[in-house]
Structure 1
Amino acid sequence: MSRLLLSGVAASALLLAGGTGARAQSAAPAAAAAGPDDISLDTITVAATLTEERAIDTLAAVSVVRADDLQQLSPDRVQDVFFGMPGTTVIQNGNSPQASINIRGLQDFGRVAVFVDGARQNFTQLGHGSGAGSFFLEPGLLSDVDVVRGPVSNIYGSGAIGGVVAFRTKDAADIIKPGQAWGVEGTGEFGSNGPMGYGSLFGAARVGQNVDLFFGGTYRAQADYDDGNGDLVPGSGYDTWTGIAKATFRPADFHEVKITGINYNADYTTYNAALVNGEVPASSTQYGSTVLNQTVTASYNYSNPDDMWFDWRSSVYWNRVKQDQVKVAGTPSSITGSIGDPRTFTIDTVGFDANNTSRFLLGSVKNAVTIGGDYFHDTVDNIDQYGFGEGYNPNGERGVGGAFVQWKANYSTWLEAIGAVRYDTYNLEGDGVSTDGQRFSPKITLGVTPWQWVTVYGTYAEGYRAPAITETLVSGAHPPNIPLVFCPDGSYGVFCFVPNPNLRPEVGKNAEVGVNLRFDDILVKGDKFRAKANLYQNNVDDFIELVGYNMTMYGTYADYQYQNIAKARLEGFEFESNYDAGAWFAGFNATVSNGEDVDNGEPLANVMPNTVAATLGVRTLENKLTLSVRWQWVAAKTLEDLPSDSPYGATPSFNLVNAYLGYQPSENVLASLSIENLLNEQYTQYQQFLPSAGITVKGGLKIRFGADVIAAATPAPIFK
């Protein structure tokens, strides 16, 4: 840790001396910013504590992505949304829209809790070292994203020992301007590499003062792209369709009911093998895949600024992910079946969460007490009658829930304290196995603001993750029907998966220190500089990994089982900053991280490479024209950085440069041009086996229009 501390302090000093930083987060849109007075870097978030506060003021590692960030990022895939974000990586292979999020070296099986409009995403389709916790989402539906790194976010629910990612999709307020009765927004985009095309159409209507309606959909088509060497990457094409509808009702002042429905459909061909001479090996299995992701949520919120005792938020949700696959190529085998054989992976998740915040003064101390609870239930129903897909992904049910209380106190303007405790419980059943567990997890944070421009904070927080169905129940011979070893269930194969009903939950124990910096009027009147830096160490007790044991005479393991290793230690340094002067903006981010198995000293396979990212942009022509350039350097992942049994290979370092040009002649029209991988870098991201796309040029046009509300004292007569 001492080496990491020294490198972190040195990096922090260097960055602060430079004075500018990376993601121009929440910088004002091109046409909206009339000048420095309109700059808005201080976006509001509830991600860290479930109470509203500026992101820069949160005593936690919080990053936000807002609508104007999304516009400049021009995301085609979920991983594009997180370009340059410290401590956060999305694993998304080129031949699948399936995405998994890694935060601070933790991923899979719910270690990072992912929510879409409050609905938890728990899909798992495990193969050879991949798919152990993923989701499907169209970035064209997004309005904003909040990310909290570390188990400080345990108020969001069980499992989030790595962090929380909360996606919010578009709503009526994103389409209808104040004073309008209805609005329509359409977007068209075309890209060179593939090629690719995207279109969306959203509409919203305000019925009276108390009802908002929103609906729309997207279509995206991507043909196989070329990598940086100009070679076609087979299977990298896909088609996605989405539909979304929302209805918001305000039955009384300060009360709001919202009902949301989202339908996502994707078609693609996927495989799990590296290319050989630019081709998929003939023996490799390829699956024609269709994914249907359906989400329904209903929420009720009450928030009255004059009511100090009740500030209520609640929601219920249902999410189903169904992936239908048919083998379309590859050698027949007992693992994957024959060409034409189908298999299906389905998970249904139902859940709820509710919390209330009460505020009161106690002497000169402002207090906010939040009490809440949440629960979700997973039902896994997988079918593979011809291969081992159901063996990798056993059927079962799991219920996970908990309750928490959080106290947040502010004394004057210089001292803030947060204390919380969460109770978690779970039960898991399947294949004759039943297991359960429970635990209390504490959190304490103290922040000091000696001057208005700086806040220093320290946090200790614990998180609790219940074992997943796959980790507990996976069983059977693999590959089956090859008589090398015999398994407890009577099957035989090269080795055996052995279930583990005694698997203990993981417990993350995170210590973190951080600093928040705020400076105004530095170079010109109205400019703003914001920065967040932190050092963390997360000790995960009973860390769960797949372990081989019982060596055979052939020098291979006879059995594989998910087991608890004594302790995993993850530590790192993160820096995120942005500067905005209206006419120009800049940013700088950095991530330094490592992790090890404390028992044997070997590195952990899921720790991502170190990164540095920067942004530089200008606004001109009365802020109608915005030009920005984003750069990200990703360090190499060498064999020394990997455990001896790592399922992933080493990867070299690479640089990515993306450019964006947006012209907004009026508030209702935006023309954009973006260039991704400007240097045409040939690279393969860590934990992925396909090279990423080479240089890609995209052009887009967004048009919005609507009708103003016509106010009248009395209705006009129909007939005169």
Structure 2
Amino acid sequence: MTGRNSLRAALLGSCALMFPVQVLAQAQNEDGQYLGTIIIESKRDVKTDTATAVTEIDQEEIDDRQASTIAELISSVPGVTLINGNSPVGGGIQIRGFGATGLYGTNQKVMITIDGASQGSEELYRIGTQLFTDAELFKSVSVIRGTVGSFEYGSGIVGGLVQLETKDASDFTGGEIGYRLRQGLTFGTNGDGITSSTILAWQPSQDLEFMANYTWRRQGEQTDGDGNNLGSPGFKTPSFSLKGKYTFGAARDQFLSLSYTDSQMAERDVPYDAVNGNVATSTTDRVDRDIHYKTTVLTYGWNPGHSDLIDLRVILSYADSAIDNTSTTGSTTGLYNAKHEYETTKLTVKNTARFDTGSLSHEVRAGVELIQKDRKEAASAPGGRDKRVAFFLIDEMDFGNGFSVTPALRYESQNIANTGPNPLWNGEYDNDAVMGGVSLRYEFASGVSVFASGAYTESLPILDDFDRQAYTTGGRTYNYMTMSEKARTWEIGAAWRGSDLLSAGDAVSLKANLYQTSAWALTSESGVGSVDLRGVELEGAYSTDAGYYAEISANIVDNDSRSMTTQNWLGYYAQSTTDTLRLAVGKRWDDELDLSWEMFAAKAYSDTSTTCTGFATCPSPGYGVHNLRATYRPQSGVLEGTEIRFGIDNVFDRDYRARLATRDAPGRNVKLSIVKSF
């Protein structure tokens, strides 16, 4: 079956899945009215109340997955593809075919934030996504796929947005005055991994809380399913976060919070090429690499109970990432003796106002952002300063009959200049763009909803483009400093949330989302000028009163691309992922015991068009990987307050390489976590 026929079959199947006529009636009462909120007792619920394609991973799932990197944490989200996801330096995150590539860890089309702070994502050659922080520092991760839900957060977001939120003291104190200590240890057999996580939460009063979180992680060199070393170096990542919050005001309607996260990593005598290099066999271009990653966020909030027109947030953030390479093989080339450092300062002022105009209800989110990115000049990369001013406006309009419309608008202007001494990179440019979209959603009384959206966005030039500001190819000259990459996305889908499907007290949530993205004027893709991507994402969750639950998610894709120079069709897009399927089933015994099995499968990718030349994973075989997890929380006795987690990743020690990865995936890894709260 061809890719297009597979996609058609998936679309027809999803329509049949989303509209079981006999089942719809079960979500109504005798008067035909919607029954209200239905809770799904699975690990991951489906967001059926929005037209945005979004998946949320909460603290329970973060603990359950025992991930060693942020990439591993979100690997099971439909539409997300990892490039060497087990490596914090050589790994990358791709969403809907955009983001990390074999050359660069990112291309601005995937955005990552920590407590609202934008993380550095310049196009560093052969270095990954540059998200080196530890998964243990966070209590939730939200992945927005596509463009329509992104205008509040940034421009040029074509693939999607990864939002990380750090833990709070009240998550452990429960709002009660006093101290809480939480100590965790995790062990892994593949690479002799060990992680220590220590959290101290202190709440001296109801209005004041503090938290300190220190995580130390060591991961040795891992092996694949055949017992061969993967070629990526092991790592040690000490990370910590500090966070405080003060609530004040006569009605306790204001707060001030300050968070700080810090992660470090030191690699010695490793290949500069963190994506493709083999630590055991690469003999040239080896470096000592030191990485330091810092984020500070100050937030003020005001939400007076007497007014629905004010829900104010003022967020001042600062992110600093430094990657220092020093050659250990005597090379004098600047690429192997360069310190890349980025500092991003952002001030966001936004307000949410809720009001009615006749029978129409509004939730209006409006704001302004001031953004400045400073990059120190390195021997292999231009330095400079990128200043931006942005305005955004989103209006969620509810007509009161199940129908809602949400238009969104963002304007962003830029002044970008080189500030370094290299005369080849001199210049100063002004650019701006207007972008936006609209989503429509209608929910029936049965719990079924249908939705559609359209969105347009632009990626303004970045500091890395200074080294090719006058670029000639195919007889045409491009000034990348005045060119923005452009993309348009259309989506349509349906969702359903119901209960009493197979037995009394059970609950189900389903969502199918079809999307089509066209991106053109591409300056960050090697030889590719435009890309067309089409796909369908499916998510579902089911639970029963007896504690059984099941989850399903799938991503089916199809694509084309055109040459930058000739505009001829190239066939399949080289960076496109393949079709994937995730299934999980489990059983809970109240809050004490949770057992689950998960299967992740990927379809073989057999395209052999010229666009795949040089990529180790094209073509790539299909595979299926099985994982087992168990969580035990004693509710009484000497072990009360203890959490014991046992997991086996890649149970059958399958030797495989994921699509787009440059290394085989890790083989079987048995993990044990013990956490005690005092």
Q: What letter matches 1:380 in structure 2?
A: R
Residue in structure 2 matched with residue 682 of structure 1 by the alignment: 655
DSSP-derived class of the 2:261 partner: strand
3-state SS, counterpart of residue 70 of structure 1: helix
- Give the aligned residue type for 1:373: V
Report the Cα offset of residue 440 of structure 1. Answer: 1.6
Task: Write the distance in 1 (CA, Å) between the matches of 2:345 and 2:558.
Answer: 36
Q: Give the partner amino acid of 1:433.
A: G
Shift in Å, 1:234: 4.1
- 2:63 is aligned, of 71, 81, 95, to 71
Q: Which amino acid in 2 is paired with 1:210?
A: D
In the other structure, the counterpart of 2:621 is: 652
Q: Is it true that 1:636 corresponds to 2:609 in the alignment?
A: no
Conserved 8 A contact 2:89-2:274: no
Which residue identity does 1:570 align to in structure 2? L
Match of 2:376 among 373, 381, 384: 381
- Alpha-carbon deviations, 1:196-224, whole Å to 9, x = none? 10001001111222111111200001111
Does residue 209 (structure 1) correspond to residue 206 (structure 2)? The answer is yes
1:30-45 mapped onto 2 (5 Å cutoff): none
1:32-55 per-residue CA deviation (whole Å, 9 max, x = no partner) reads: xxxx998556999xxxxxxxxx93
State the secondary structure of the residue aligned to 1:151: coil
Identity %: 21
Q: TM-score with structure 1 length normalisation?
A: 0.81
Matched, 1:465 2:459: yes
Deviations 1:425-474 (A, max 9, x none): 11221221222211221311111112331110111111121122113434
The CA deviation string for residues 614-654 of structure 1, in whole angstroms up to 9 with x for no partner, is 1111113x441111111111223334366155655413222
* CA spacing shift, 1:436–1:645, aligned 2, 3 Å: farther
Q: Which runs of 5+ in 2 are unaligned?
A: 22-36, 100-105, 419-424
2:671 equivalent in structure 1: 698
**AA in 2 matched with 1:439:** A
Call closer, same or farther: CA 1:547–1:290 in 2, change over 3 Å. closer
Match of 2:522 among 540, 543, 546: 543
What is the CA–CA distance in structure 2 between the aligned matches of 1:11 and 1:284, rounded to whole Å?
52
Distance 1:232 1:608 in 2: 25
How far is 1:694 from its partner? 0.6
Task: Sort the Cα spacing of 1:4 and 1:691 in 2 relative to 1 into closer, same or farther, 3 A.
Answer: closer
Give the letter aligned to residue 512 of structure 2.
Answer: A
The one-letter code matched in structure 2 to 1:679 is F
Shift of 1:543: 2.1
| C-alpha separation in 2, matches of 1:591 and 1:179 | 43
Indicate the residue corresponding to 2:237 in structure 1. Answer: 240
Measure how far apart 1:596 and its partner are.
Answer: 2.0
Matched, 1:168 2:165: yes
Q: Counterpart of 2:577?
A: 608
Structure 2 CA distance for aligned equivalents of residues 425 and 469 of structure 1: 15
Normalised to the residue count of structure 2, the TM-score between the two structures is 0.86
Paired position in structure 1 for 2:119: 121
- The correspondence of residues 219-618 of structure 1 with structure 2, limited to 5 A, is 219-252=216-249, 253-269=252-268, 270-271=270-271, 272=273, 280-329=280-329, 332=331, 334=333, 342-384=337-379, 390=380, 393-430=381-418, 431-474=425-468, 500-546=479-525, 565=529, 567-582=530-545, 583-598=547-562, 599-602=567-570, 603-618=572-587
Partner in structure 2 of residue 8 of structure 1: 10
Q: Distance in 1 between matches of 2:614 and 2:608?
A: 11
What is the deviation of 1:541? Answer: 3.0
C-alpha displacement at 1:523, in angstroms? 2.9
CA change 1:403–1:642 in 2 (3 A) is farther
Q: CA deviation at 1:4?
A: 6.6
Using the TM superposition, name which of 651-660 and 624-633 deviates more. 651-660
> Is the CA contact (8 Å cut-off) linking 1:94 and 1:691 kept in structure 2?
no
Name the CA distance, whole Å, in 2 between partners of 1:148 and 1:308. 27
* The 10-residue stretch of structure 1 (417-426 or 672-681) with the greater mean CA deviation from structure 2: 417-426
Question: In the alignment, is the contact (CA less than 8 A) between 2:405 and 2:441 conserved in 1?
Answer: yes
Residue 572 of structure 1, CA deviation: 0.8
Would you say the 8 A contact 1:669–1:704 is kept in 2? yes
Which amino acid is the alignment partner of residue 488 of structure 2? K
Change (3 A) 1:81 1:413: farther
Deviates more, 1:227-236 or 1:9-18: 9-18
In structure 2, do the counterparts of structure 1 residues 184 and 443 end up closer, same or farther at CA, with 3 Å as the change threshold?
Answer: same
Q: Find the residue that maps to 2:522 and give its secondary structure.
A: strand
1:445 counterpart letter in structure 2? S
Q: Secondary structure at the match of 1:471?
A: helix
2:642–2:676 CA contact under 8 A, matched in 1:
yes
Conserved 8 A contact 2:170-2:203: no
Tell me the distance in 2 between the aligned counterparts of 1:508 and 1:501.
17
**Partner residue of 2:144?**
148
Distance 1:332 1:616 in 2: 53
Q: Structure 1: where are the runs of 5+ without partners?
A: 20-35, 45-53, 385-389, 477-486, 489-497, 549-563, 706-720
1:661 and 1:95, CA in 2 relative to 1: closer, same or farther beyond 3 A?
A: closer
Aligned mates of 1:698, 1:147 — CA distance in 2:
26
Residue 14 of structure 1: how far off its partner (Å): 6.8
In structure 2, what is the Cα distance between the partners aligned to 1:641 and 1:663?
A: 50
- Residues 346 and 402 (structure 1 numbering): CA distance in 2 closer, same or farther, change over 3 Å? same
Verify the 8 A CA contact 1:78 1:99 in the aligned structure 2: no
- Give the Cα separation in 1 of the matches to 2:441 and 2:305: 25
The Cα of 1:87 is off from its aligned counterpart by 0.8
Q: In 2, are the aligned partners of 1:93 and 1:689 still within 8 Å (CA)?
A: no
Is the 2:151–2:408 Cα contact (8 Å) retained in structure 1?
no
Larger mean Cα displacement after TM superposition, 399-408 or 204-213: 399-408
**Within 2, Cα distance between the matches of 1:684 and 1:508?**
30
CA distance in 2, matches of 1:686, 1:139: 24
Cα RMSD, aligned residues only: 2.9
The question of 1:627 aligning with 2:595 is answered: yes
CA shift, 1:538, in A, is 1.3
**1:332 to partner: Cα distance:** 4.4
* CA pair 280-325 structure 1, distance change in 2 beyond 3 A: same
Q: Which residue of 1 aligns with 2:48?
A: 56
Distance 1:642 1:313 in 2: 50
Measured at CA, do residues 593 and 2 of structure 1 come closer, stay the same or move farther in structure 2, by a change above 3 Å?
closer
Letter of the structure 2 residue corresponding to residue 10 of structure 1: L
How far residue 519 of structure 1 moved from its aligned partner, in angstroms, is: 0.9
Which residue of structure 1 lines up, in the alignment, with residue 643 of structure 2? Answer: 670
Give the conservation status (yes or no) of the 8 Å contact 1:94–1:236: no
> In 1, distance between residues paired with 2:111 and 2:382?
21
